[in-house]
Structure 1
Amino acid sequence: MNKIAYITILFFAVVFTSCDEYLDAPTQSTMDESLIFSNVELAQGAIDGIKEPMGQTNSYRGRFLTHYGSNTDIEWNNSTSENARGDLSRYVNSPTNSDMNRDNVYWAMLYRGIERANICIRGLRTYGNPEPGTAMGQLLGEAITLRSIYYADLLKSHGDIVARFEPISSETIYLPKSNRDEIYKHVIADLEEAATLVAWPGETEATATTEQVNKAFVKGLRARLCMAAAGYSQRGSSISRSSDPELSVSTLYPIALQECKDIINSGTASLEPSFETVWRKNCEEVITAGSESLWEVPFAEGRGRHLFTYAVRHQAADQYTGQPRGGSYGPTPNVFYDFDAKDTRRDVTCVPYSWSKSNPAVQELMGIDTWYFGKWRYEWMTRYVTSTNDDGVNKIYMRYAEVILMAAEIENELNGPSAAAPYLKMIRQRAFNEEDWSTKVDAYVDALNSKEAMFNAIVDEHGFELCGEMERKQALIRWNLLKSKMDETKQKMDDLRNRTGEYADVPSKIYYNYLPDGETLDFYGLERGETDDMLTEYDYAENWAGPDQLEDDKINSLYTNDPDQNQYWPIWQVFIDASNGMLNNDPVN
């Protein structure tokens, strides 16, 4: 694998020098840019250097990907502890948060990557002759896209941020925040150019893996950003869309739809035949381009904490992992019961057990208040993890399924439910076995005969498809549904524990045995409607749904502060203090 964590790029080692707590400022390079960016191999090394900050300790590896995206209406922090990570989950967004208020946290690392991209873009444009279809063109497209990824993540987590699209000079070391609308417009235009420069997945050696930028991903990212820019967001104390006509739904949705259609019509991406296959391949570290994963944040074996953070919990080193971790976040307890029981995504996504402290370990039933994301499982890996705090599994940054869902949403908005229906059917056909298509796919989708009904169904489908992937928060924000959907989930959890309303048929007890392999649980009472009439066939029983099993403090940990008034993280105090008075957390007009 072409992993990034330990790449050392001589060019950037010379070009950059440390700048107290804010950004790495350039010094005069002793290596001529004309030499670096006129040579494909050297230029490729410089492009790899743009990705290197992703693997830094407090960058994507251990802060951004491990902290951003929770809590939502379908995902939450499994711990109620009032610590730094828990505060962010509960929308207690202090600029002095102890996990984030550090000079080497992701804010500095992402801007380091942006600066490296700026230097590469300037060098390639000046010395590389980066035409479409050439190696230099591919490198320029990748540099532009990597910079766009960094901006996309800063925008979704902070709103208004510092705009830097040229290498730093002595005059621009300190800059104020810019209005997010101007950055969105710049990045959306950048991605339009990048798509003309890079090849489709698997079309060339340069796009052979999901760790490399390709045209399908660039177009998908542009569509995602168009929808975010046209959507709602917190602006000061209000929630509104942009007033800029260039960022209106009527302007950006057709652009996003065309990008999605280009990807779909290209035939260069496809849904995996089963939902489980997506996640088995991710855990098995299969990175061949051309299927469902469009691009992944690439981690070395000793970097990256995705299973460490999101996988089914292992309480001790055991037969599947030498790293006793996983389970920091999980689905909210209602999600399992909100799925259709025949939806094959349910049991992949929602896992009610951890692995015990024994070695070899066995599955151990948790309470109804603690579920794990089953998309990531150490037991699916082909590599035995021995690191104490890194698993090295790539983060899938965008899937083809999201492209299809975006196409459905946009078609519904622009052309109505009949135009959206074929795309929603594509997603549901993969989710259900073929014998159920007539009812679960065709009849279900065909009954959505109003724009409102189709939109609500797409919102639900988005949750079922993407639960745990930490895309939900940004979607809820742009739909202006963040707090209202979270309040709906709090009510669902209250109904679930009291077994009332739509959860009246959830059993109060679970019975279980172990299958002949001695480690896998066999349940009765997990499904709706299962009663005590099979009690004698099971050796173990535990209380399941009830007021004592899902307490007020747990439900209320979904949020403490109003999510709609805390949609964005603040700029961390260490960067404000080092900004020469240029940065603050006041709204940008």
Structure 2
Amino acid sequence: MKKTKSILFASCFVGALFFTNSCNDFLDPENLSSISEAQQFDSTDDTFSALIGVYAQLGGDDGYGQRLSLILPQSGDDFRTSGNYNCNDRRGVATFGACATNTELNNPFGKLYTGIERANLVLKNIPLSPVMQTGSAQEKALMNRYLGEALTLRAQYYYELIRNWGDVPFYLVPASELPEQNQPKTDRDIIYDQMINDLEKAATLVPWRSEGGTTSNRISKGFVKGLRARIALARAGYSLRRNPQIMAQGSNPQKYYQIALTECKDIMNHSGEHSLNPSYENVFRALHTNAQDTTNEVIFAVGAFGGGVRTDSKIGYYNGLKHHDNSVWKGGGGINALPTYFYEFSKFDLRRDMNVGIFTINAANQAELAASNAWTDSKYRKSWTSITGPSQTLAVDWPLLRLSDVMLMFAEADNEINGAPSQEAKNALLAVRNRAYAGNLGQVGAIPSDKVGFFNAVVQERLLELGSEGIRKYDLIRWNLLATKIAETKAKLTAFINGTGAYANVPLNIYYKNSVYDPTKTAQQNIAAIDVYTTGTDKSAVFYLPNQSATTPAGYKSIAWRSGITATYVDNPASGYAQYFQVNKRELLPIYFEYIQNNYNLTQDYGY
């Protein structure tokens, strides 16, 4: 125990560079000085304990338990944070108006660097370990696996830093070995290139899932390759540069598209390791019980456990389907689905009712339709866990990479390299769509064969497939489509309000009765169980038809559907969607001001 804690003590050193209080939570009043750094790595067991310290920075409130997964990724053209604008809280992030004093930006930045420092300590000391000199072949292979996992975690932490803050200080060795610890920013392309090279090495050291006996909570070769593909696409794509301050594409993009293509294809060729789960819903249900989905579609997920803010998650409590405070469950509703997102799905798409929660659970544990300004994400539900009452930490895992994401990355890269999609790329996109339309394959539609048409199809499919998984905003940035999609979404919201164009037949109000809510039923069954008033026989069509009655029918309640959205939702200083977005400025977040104060070489850029 002491050995594990002393590696945590050493790893906190880099946190002191940025903010002197950043590591207090990792320490307790135990004498740690009796164990040297070298002793942390004198056996495979001790080395694994140090590696666990690197993994530990993934979870908790300031990691993928809340802020990195649910707060910083808002807003795209799918979801937004609930509530009104404040530059110093989560709403400031979601409206692209965060201040440098916003505390939501503080701990995640420091937590990522603590993870990098812990990884650097592992990467330094494994080659120096006596195990690598005199250990058995099996022990050396195990140590090399740990080395590969540390390389991968460091790459993940840098990727997260770059996609939120752009150029950042770059550390490849423990802070204690740096003659100047206050490092300036390094160009992101240099960091990306190093991480791409590191992951190429890591893929030779880390086994496939079946070879290593790993669950989705531990890094396997599939995640190493998938992360390499993801970073390669980011390197090939656009990002907000410092000088000049514009959105610009990375150099030599074809090289990086090829890397992404090769890595994704290798994962897809190992179908025995990871394959599409026939049930889209069951992929996410498994995350609520720390279980592996049956086909291992989730390649890597951040594990949540322990009930505390350092190791557990608020996924399903902060976000997800809204459960009334007086219901059995209590929680959800912190993230709102844009009403236009619901209508991006056809009524035959099984993902619609998983991605968008159009009902809430009331105080009597019944399902009630929600007004369109209060729809939520719905892949995460406290009622899908075994936890009731006021508890906020639910031990719901966060999926960092799924196979469907890999397949769509493959399709995108193939299209870019070949100037049009190959049949293999079209098949990958089709497989994702076919699952979404199971039982209604005739509604899938044609897959485009030209480059522009296929790219647009990939953009749309990623919107539908990966909603509320913390990906969309960053996709739009690397495609240089964020400004375009925000403008398009504002126009769609205006059309929604006015009932024009695609929304001409969307009802102003819907009439319904409360229904029994059974969390064991599927998402589609939950919607079908709500008694909605219609003059026809197909109740599922009510969302796509004008008002079914001029007044509220006897025994029914009215809910504001299209009428739930007003002009203030689109353009209002307090509540407007993406209200403070500015092109070539707000694609990135400001660095929390104290990090700038504590590092005289660190600059605040992008107009903040």
Counterpart-to-counterpart distance in 2, 1:462 and 1:476 = 10
Give secondary structure in 2 for the equivalent of 1:198: coil
Q: Please name the residue that 1:299 is paired with.
A: 304
Q: Aligned pair 1:396/2:403, yes or no? A: no
| Structure 2 letter corresponding to 1:457 | A
Change in CA separation of 1:577 and 1:260 when aligned onto 2, cut-off 3 Å: same
Q: Please name the residue that 1:555 is paired with.
A: 570
- Contact preservation (8 Å) 2:315, 2:394: yes
Change in CA separation of 1:277 and 1:39 when aligned onto 2, cut-off 3 Å: same
Matches within 5 A, 1:194-205: 194-205=202-213
State the Cα distance separating 1:171 from its structure 2 match: 1.6
Q: Please name the residue that 2:19 is paired with.
A: 22
Counterpart-to-counterpart distance in 1, 2:564 and 2:293 = 44
Counterpart-to-counterpart distance in 2, 1:233 and 1:389 = 35
Change in CA separation of 1:387 and 1:40 when aligned onto 2, cut-off 3 Å: farther
Aligned-residue Cα RMSD (Å) equals: 2.8
Change in CA separation of 1:7 and 1:88 when aligned onto 2, cut-off 3 Å: farther
> Which among 518, 527, 530 is matched to residue 543 of structure 2?
527
State the Cα distance separating 1:545 from its structure 2 match: 4.1
Matches within 5 A, 1:54-453: 54-82=58-86, 84-100=89-105, 102=106, 105-127=107-129, 128-129=131-132, 134-169=141-176, 171-205=179-213, 207=214, 209-236=215-242, 237-243=245-251, 248-267=252-271, 268-287=273-292, 291-302=296-307, 303-319=312-328, 321=329, 324-356=330-362, 358=363, 360-381=364-385, 383-386=386-389, 388-415=391-418, 416-419=420-423, 420-434=425-439, 436-437=440-441, 439-441=442-444, 443-445=445-447, 448-453=448-453
- Contact preservation (8 Å) 1:113, 1:150: yes
Change in CA separation of 1:572 and 1:488 when aligned onto 2, cut-off 3 Å: same
| Structure 2 letter corresponding to 1:336 | F
Counterpart-to-counterpart distance in 2, 1:336 and 1:587 = 33
Q: Please name the residue that 1:585 is paired with.
A: 604
Q: Aligned pair 1:12/2:7, yes or no? A: yes
Q: Please name the residue that 1:544 is paired with.
A: 560
Q: Deviations over 1:331-367 (max 9, x none)?
A: 21011112111011111111112221x2x42122221
Q: Please name the residue that 2:538 is paired with.
A: none
Give secondary structure in 1 for the equivalent of 2:343: helix
In structure 2, the gaps of 5 or more residues are 24-31, 519-525, 535-541
Change in CA separation of 1:536 and 1:86 when aligned onto 2, cut-off 3 Å: closer
In structure 1, the gaps of 5 or more residues are 1-5
Give secondary structure in 1 for the equivalent of 2:62: helix
Counterpart-to-counterpart distance in 1, 2:467 and 2:109 = 26
Counterpart-to-counterpart distance in 1, 2:233 and 2:104 = 30
Counterpart-to-counterpart distance in 2, 1:161 and 1:93 = 18
- Contact preservation (8 Å) 1:202, 1:289: no
State the Cα distance separating 1:379 from its structure 2 match: 1.8
- Contact preservation (8 Å) 2:514, 2:531: yes
Change in CA separation of 1:530 and 1:274 when aligned onto 2, cut-off 3 Å: farther
Counterpart-to-counterpart distance in 2, 1:48 and 1:509 = 52
% of aligned pairs identical?
30
Give secondary structure in 2 for the equivalent of 1:58: coil
State the Cα distance separating 1:97 from its structure 2 match: 1.4
Q: Deviations over 1:380-422 (max 9, x none)?
A: 22x2145643222111111111000001111111221343211
Change in CA separation of 1:536 and 1:217 when aligned onto 2, cut-off 3 Å: same
State the Cα distance separating 1:560 from its structure 2 match: 2.2
Aligned residue-pair number: 561
| Structure 2 letter corresponding to 1:215 | K
State the Cα distance separating 1:186 from its structure 2 match: 0.6
Which is worse superposed, 472-481 or 59-68?
Answer: 59-68
Counterpart-to-counterpart distance in 2, 1:523 and 1:110 = 47
Counterpart-to-counterpart distance in 2, 1:60 and 1:279 = 16
> Which among 562, 568, 575 is matched to residue 595 of structure 2?
575
Counterpart-to-counterpart distance in 1, 2:339 and 2:293 = 35
Q: Please name the residue that 2:539 is paired with.
A: none
Counterpart-to-counterpart distance in 2, 1:463 and 1:97 = 28
Counterpart-to-counterpart distance in 2, 1:387 and 1:300 = 17
